[in-house]
A = this chain, B = another copy of it.
Amino acid sequence: MRKLWGGAFGAETDGLVDRFGQSIHDDLRFWRQDVTGSIAHARMLGATGILSTEDAATLVQGLEAILAEDAGQLPMDVEDIHTSVEVRLRELVGDVAGKLHTARSRNDQVATDARLALRDEIDRLIPLVKALQGVILEQARVAKGWPMPGYTHQQPAQPITLGFHLLAYFWAMQRQGWRLERLRELVNYSPLGSAALAGTNFPIDRQSTARELGFTGPIANALDATSDRSFVLDTLHVTASIMIDLSRLAQELVLWSTAEFGFLRLDDGVTTGSSIMPQKRNPDMAELIRGRSGRAIGNWTTLAATMKALPLGYNRDTQDDKPAMFQSLDLTADCLQLAARMLSGATWNRRRMAQAAEAGYSWATDLANALAAHGLPFRKAHEVVGELVRALDARGGKLGPWVYGEFLPLHLEPEQIEALRGRLTAHASIVARESEGAPGPKAMIAQLKRAAGLHRKVAFASIQ
């Protein structure tokens, strides 16, 4: 294996050691960023007179030629991407390639590559979050008045609408977009020029390389620039957080598409069959999203454990941050798309949802509220309705004239009782709930409008 070092060593490292330490297969992912960073560095070396104008121009030309080539031209029998690019550069421009590494180290180089690559990844994720929000918004508009049970403890609690339920995920994704943009702010500083850990005695210009690479500015301390991986842990946190949100959605899609719930039929494109059970429509994509949220959680734990108690200055342990980071970014990007794909192709069974919304006494809270509005202390109203539910349960859930008896202690007028009975439907319950953020029709229109307004903006400037 070709290496950038070796002067002080007599013996050859053996095969396992080479394989174990090799990162080129992971690094290849960010070869463009590596070359781009080198171009900025080479230009700066020329502009500051550290290299001659000709040498700098030759280096830039060679690097641009690499950018224009396919990654397939980069040698893979090397330790890492930095070596690979340098070897290729030497093939293209000759020994002047050796001058590219002036006033630079692999330590600041890899930190620069990681930040550039991560910035690109964030810019890839953000539109996917927007796109999922778009699908949610569209479906929520259509289903804004479709009754379904609202659950707490996975028991029917109060009737809501499907549109209202789906919008909860819109806001979750709004937070995720906001988190991604804050992360982008944090990441967007330049380690380039920090060299191994402590800067350099060459008169480099870190402002110019930072500017050329689109960074907000150089990182203020060279040791910090090469030691910090907290932005990678942030990335693993945000991706895990998105995956946890998606795992909750996936769980609901799995649940709702069970034979027993039957609220939902996922389309053929995202379900799979069984090699042995011909009737199966398995929500595999939802299951895989749910499962891969476990991987996203494990990746955060991996890096947290790795970074714990690591002294400052580059340590080889941190090599493993990038496979975890890219894996989490990739699976998050995939799952955001799959979630949108599943929702947009879903066929909802309005009838089953509406039936479930009527069942299970989910109007009981509203009735208790109504009694309270008639002057009963809330706790007392709660007790009365609790007894009513027990009585109904004992009678197989059927209402009858006996119900009036239940209300006698309240000394209500017959008209009041009729009004109360009118409330005992999911529809009546939903339309009455018009508090801000509730599923009542006016409240929903307001919420949809607010969501659409935020969705039209390019950025995630506000949390809600």
- Interchain CB contact under 8 A, A152 and B193: no
Contacts A316-B284, A369-B103 given; does A305 touch B311 at CB 8 Å: no
Is A436 in contact with chain B by the CB < 8 A criterion?
A: yes
Which of A179, A220, A240: most chain B CB closer than 10 A? A220
Q: In the complex, what residues of B have CB within 8 A of residue A404's CB?
A: none
**Which of B7, B201, B314, B385 touches A153 (beta carbons < 8 Å)?**
B314
Is A259 in contact with chain B by the CB < 8 A criterion?
A: yes
Which of A157, A283, A290, A359: most chain B CB closer than 10 A? A157
- Interchain CB contact under 8 A, B20 and A334: yes
* Segment from A67-75, A116-124, A267-275, A405-413 that makes contact with B: A267-275
Q: How far is the CA of A164 from the CA of B106 in the complex (A)?
A: 21
* Segment from A25-33, A296-304, A414-422 that makes contact with B: A296-304
Q: In the complex, what residues of B have CB within 8 A of residue A207's CB?
A: 436
- Nearest B residue (CB) for A153: B282
Is A168 in contact with chain B by the CB < 8 A criterion?
A: yes
Is A214 in contact with chain B by the CB < 8 A criterion?
A: no
State how many angstroms separate the Cβ of A22 from the closest Cβ of chain B. Answer: 10
Q: In the complex, what residues of B have CB within 8 A of residue A308's CB?
A: 244, 247-248, 290, 293-294, 297, 305, 308
Q: Which residues of A (227-280) have their CB < 8 Å from a CB of B?
A: 227-228, 230, 233-234, 237, 240-241, 244-245, 247-248, 250-252, 254-255, 257-262, 267-280
Quick one: CB contact mask for A186-198 with B, threshold 8 Å, 1 for yes?
A: 1001000111111
- Interchain CB contact under 8 A, B295 and A309: no
Is A42 in contact with chain B by the CB < 8 A criterion?
A: no
Q: In the complex, what residues of B have CB within 8 A of residue A223's CB?
A: 150, 160, 164-165, 167-168
**Which of B164, B227, B463 touches A186 (beta carbons < 8 Å)?**
B463
**Which of B50, B197, B275, B295 touches A160 (beta carbons < 8 Å)?**
B197
18 new A-B contacts at CB < 8 Å, known A172-B228, A196-B277, A300-B301: A9-B268, A11-B268, A20-B285, A99-B378, A152-B315, A155-B282, A155-B283, A167-B221, A198-B439, A200-B369, A206-B436, A240-B304, A248-B312, A260-B260, A278-B386, A291-B317, A298-B301, A305-B305
State how many angstroms separate the Cβ of A147 from the closest Cβ of chain B. Answer: 12
- Nearest B residue (CB) for A372: B102
Copies of this chain per assembly: 4
Contacts A160-B223, A201-B433, A259-B156 given; does A389 touch B8 at CB 8 Å: yes
**Which of B153, B194, B259 touches A155 (beta carbons < 8 Å)?**
B259
Is A88 in contact with chain B by the CB < 8 A criterion?
A: no
- Please list 10 pairs of residues, one from A and one from B, whose beta carbons are closer than 8 Å in the complex, sorted by A's number: A5-B280, A7-B382, A9-B273, A11-B268, A101-B275, A165-B312, A199-B438, A199-B443, A220-B464, A278-B385
Q: How far is the CA of A299 from the CA of B323 in the complex (A)?
A: 13
State how many angstroms separate the Cβ of A81 from the closest Cβ of chain B. Answer: 13
Is A341 in contact with chain B by the CB < 8 A criterion?
A: yes
Q: How far is the CA of A291 from the CA of B309 in the complex (A)?
A: 9
Contacts A182-B182, A385-B278 given; does A305 touch B298 at CB 8 Å: yes
Q: How far is the CA of A171 from the CA of B150 in the complex (A)?
A: 37
- Interchain CB contact under 8 A, B341 and A317: no
